[in-house]
Amino acid sequence: MEAKTLFDKIWDSHVVKKVEGGPNVLYIDRHLIHEVTSPVAFLGLKNRGLKVFRPEQTTATPDHNVPTENQHLSIVDELSRNQVEMLKRNCAEHGIKYHDLQSEGHGIVHIIGPEKGLTQPGMTIVCGDSHTSTHGAFGAIAFGIGTSEVEMVLASQSIMQPKPKKMRITINGELKQGVTAKDIALFIISKISTSGGTGHFIEYAGSAIKSLSMEGRMTLCNLSIESGARGGMIAPDETTFNYMKGREFVPKGKDWEQAVEKWKNLKSDEDAVFDTEYSYDAADIEPMITYGTNPGMGIGITKNIPIYNGMGESDKKTLEKALKYMEFSPGDKMLGKTIDYVFLGSCTNGRIEDFRAFTAFVKGKKKAPNVNAWLVPGSKHVEQQIKEEGLLEILEEAGFKLRQPGCSACLAMNDDKIPEGKYAVSTTNRNFEGRQGPGARTLLASPLTAAAAAITGKVTDPRELMDNEFLETDKTLEPV
Amino acid sequence: MAYDKFSVIKSPAVPLPVENVDTDQIIPARFLKAVERKGFGENLFRDWRYNKDGSPKSDFPLNNAKYSGKILVAGKNFGSGSSREHAAWAIYDYGFRVVVSSFFADIFKNNAINNGLLPVVVTPEFLERIFETIEKNPEAEFKTNLKEQTLTNLTTGETEEFEINAYKKHCLKNGLDDIDYLVRMKDEITAFEEANS
Ligand code: SF4
């Protein structure tokens, strides 16, 4: 039999039909929806007189535009409120499970999927949000779709897609102290650029990837899309199964044992061929930070912003435009640059481990007075854990406050907008012009680097502040 | 959704010689709060197109009266970032039917075709000459022929073929979309579910 990649195995088993001279009709196991990219899809269904085909395979949560304060009150912004209410109505009408803003199960769509065990190995998972790639961490094919495709899934539990090419990125070796999954991702994108993955689906492999926690794997897969790839995935293993066991929607008892046996086969055959391969040494990665206006414009935090010398004309133009927006100069050092905001949150870094890392880092220190810090848990469950584990007290002691769950300043659709011209060290996924608010300037980094900046008020190498005490508290990074 | 059937489009083009144009620039997130698919063209390239006080930025091509037409020509890696289909809607709603670039992001390309907006991939050299042609003569016309799968620079006479799969071509030509197709396939999909449960 022909050797197959993990991606091939899952994709091929979900093809309902190959359209002559066209895409595949791909069956979708799990569909996640939110308030922003679904209303027009439901409207389309209505106009065609259609019902949702398999309502039990779709799950809904309002996350993109919700406020992160006073969630018990009615949403003030009329348009946002309308979208949220519309989602609720559409779900009620079509029998779709909806996680209301005040409910225990509420959170960012890509946080609650894994949390509830909706995300499982071998599945096809889609959502009208490009960071659906997060779910690939479990060995699933997960990718973002447009609203027309949301309508397709609602109408037929299938979409039409050409099969992407396959890429493998292998990272072997041991990660250095202070280097996280976020740094691996920013490192990769800085190497292959924001278009390097276009047309491909990535599989991450190698000892450094295997050593990541489940949440770290989610962070890495989450950022796959920023390299232009449709998604990223990691073969499931004991780490995956340990994380999943006992979660709400995973099989129980005997079914669980059987499922695990099946999932263990989900890996690329040894002689499987990838269209594109890259490999890197974990030891070459240091904490990363971005200096420009796309996620590929990242460097090791101790490095300087590139200079124009030796650059092609078009790269130079892109860099010039970015640096003008950021008000940085070629050759500048990133270390020591004054910042105004710190944002911890989003589906990239809004999980409990991110909060544990941030908290362990700031423990016993004080937030810099010039910094506004927004700490936004990815879900109600994460918020609960922060309180139960005593992290909130440590954070408050250090001068931080906690907000309520949602996408928040990741895309600034609600009131959480970084003001024009201000610099934010952000644990999110996009540093595009105006992404975090009109005129806002985003420096993407890990929760540790964000914590370091929150304490000093400037771009700081987190390793400089990691004393013995941190190393001891480092055990709080372990999943409970 | 229903869109106009696509055949031959002959028109001047609007140049946007910027690379890596992400969908956050095409339509910023704060304009995604509508629940209908209307009026997004007004906010196309909002923050590049208008000053904070709402006055148009004179140096942005869309505000320059000398440029017009149904074809948008942009630098490489157009449409990266967010999957928001609103980006394709905004471009279509503004009046464009074709976007030309040397490289498109995947999701944007899908979204565009699903909405009757044709993404045309050309070689970097051909793209460069299109920009040059427009710079010399903003009224210069270009012809997109879906049937032949060609784009012609009518000033220089150069033609390049572009790729589009037979199925999508059929859809665009007939104003059909994937949902029509999938809905007709429900029995096959149900059979697939049964075989795999
Ligand atoms: S946190 Fe950001 S990237 Fe994630 S789903 Fe929300 S808006 Fe999208």
Atom index in ligand 1 nearest the CA of residue A131 equals: 3
pLDDT for residue A473 = 47
- The pLDDT tens digits for A405-425 are 999 999 999 999 999 999 999
Note the pTM of the prediction, 2 decimals.
Answer: 0.94
Closest C-alpha to A36, from A165, A128, A115: A128
CB-CB under 8 Å, B186 with A152: no
User: A158 vs B189: CB contact, 8 Å cut-off?
Assistant: yes
Give the pLDDT score at A468: 54
Residue that finishes a domain, picked among A245, A276, A307 = A276
A251 and A382 share a domain? no
CA dist., res. A81 & res. A320, Å (int): 40
A408 in the same domain as A260: no
- What band does A479 get if pLDDT is binned at 50, 70 and 90? very low
Q: Could you write out the three-class secondary structure of chain B?
A: CCCCCCCEEEEEEEEECCCCCEHHHHCCHHHCCCCCCCCHHHHCCHHHHECCCCCECCCCHHHCCCCCCCEEEECCCECECCCCCHHHHHHHHHCCCEEEECCECHHHHHHHHCCCCEEEECCHHHHHHHHHHHHHCCCCEEEEECCCCEEEECCCCEEEECCCCHHHHHHHHHCCCHHHHHHCCHHHHHHHHHHHC
Q: Which positions in chain B touch A44 (Cβ < 8 Å)?
A: 1, 179
In this prediction, residues A280-291 reach a mean pLDDT of 98
CATH number reported for the structural domain that contains residue A74 in this entry: 3.30.499.10
Same domain, A115 and A19: yes
Report the chain B residue with the minimal C-alpha distance to residue A325: B48
- pLDDT above 70 as % of chain A: 97
- Let me know whether A116 and A25 are in one domain: yes
> To 10 degrees, the CA torsion angle through A387, A403, A68, A417?
-160
- Mean pLDDT value across residues A264-269: 98
Domain boundaries, chain B: 8-196
Q: Is the pLDDT of residue A472 over 90?
A: no
Residue range B66-73: average pLDDT?
97
- Answer yes or no: is A282 within a domain: no
Per-residue pLDDT reduced to its tens digit, A64-101? 999 999 999 999 999 999 999 999 999 999 999 999 99
Query: In the block, which residue shows the tokens 């070629």?
Result: A330
**pLDDT (mean) for B131-143:** 98
pLDDT for position A283:
97
Residues A345-367: b if buried by 16+ CB within 10 A, e if exposed: bbbbbbbbbbbbbbbbbbbebeb
* Other Cβ atoms within 10 Å of B110 Cβ, number: 28
According to DSSP, the β-strands at A341-344 and A423-426 are: parallel
Q: What is the pLDDT of residue B68?
A: 96
Residues A237, A243, A244, A247, Cα dihedral to 10°? 170
Angle at A265 between CA A263 and CA A268, to 5 degrees: 120
Are residues A294 and B186, on separate chains, in Cβ contact within 8 Å?
Answer: no
Give the mean pLDDT of chain B: 94
For residue A428, what are the domain limits?
289-477
**Least CB-CB distance to A27: which of B20, B30, B189?**
B189
Q: Are residues A107 and A238 in the same domain?
A: yes
Mean pLDDT value across chain A: 95
Query: Average of pLDDT values for A286-292?
Result: 98
Domain termination residue (choose one: A241, A276, A311): A276
Residue B1 pLDDT greater than 70, yes or no? no
Please report, for residues A58, A91, A105, A389, B21, the alpha-carbon distance to residue A63 in angstroms, rounded to integers and kept in the order given.
16, 15, 12, 24, 25
| Cβ(A259)–Cβ(A249) below 8 Å | no
pLDDT confidence of residue A469: 56
In CATH terms, the fold of domain B8-196 is: Aconitase; domain 4 (3.20.19)
Q: State whether A115 and A225 are in the same domain.
A: yes
The rounded distance, in Å, linking the Cα atoms of A145 and A127 is 6
Q: What is the pLDDT of residue A476?
A: 45
Cβ count within 10 A of residue B63:
15
- Binding-site residue numbers of A for [4Fe-4S] cluster are 347, 407, 410
Determine, for residues A25 and B189 on separate chains, whether the beta-carbon distance falls below 8 Å: yes
Query: Which of residues A249, A276, A303 is at a domain's end?
Result: A276
In degrees, rounded to 5, the angle at the alpha carbon of residue B111 between the alpha carbons of residues B109 and B117 is: 75
| HSE-up (13 A, CA, CB side) for residue A37 | 31
Which chain A residues in 43-72 lie under 8 Å from chain B, judged by CB atoms? 43-44, 48, 50, 53, 64-65
Asked if residue A452 is part of any domain, the answer here is yes
The reply to whether A1 falls in a domain is no
Kindly list the protein residues whose Cβ atom lies closer than 6 A to any atom of ligand 1. A 63-64, 108-110, 129, 131, 346-347, 407, 410-411, 429
Do A38 and A86 fall within a single domain? Answer: yes
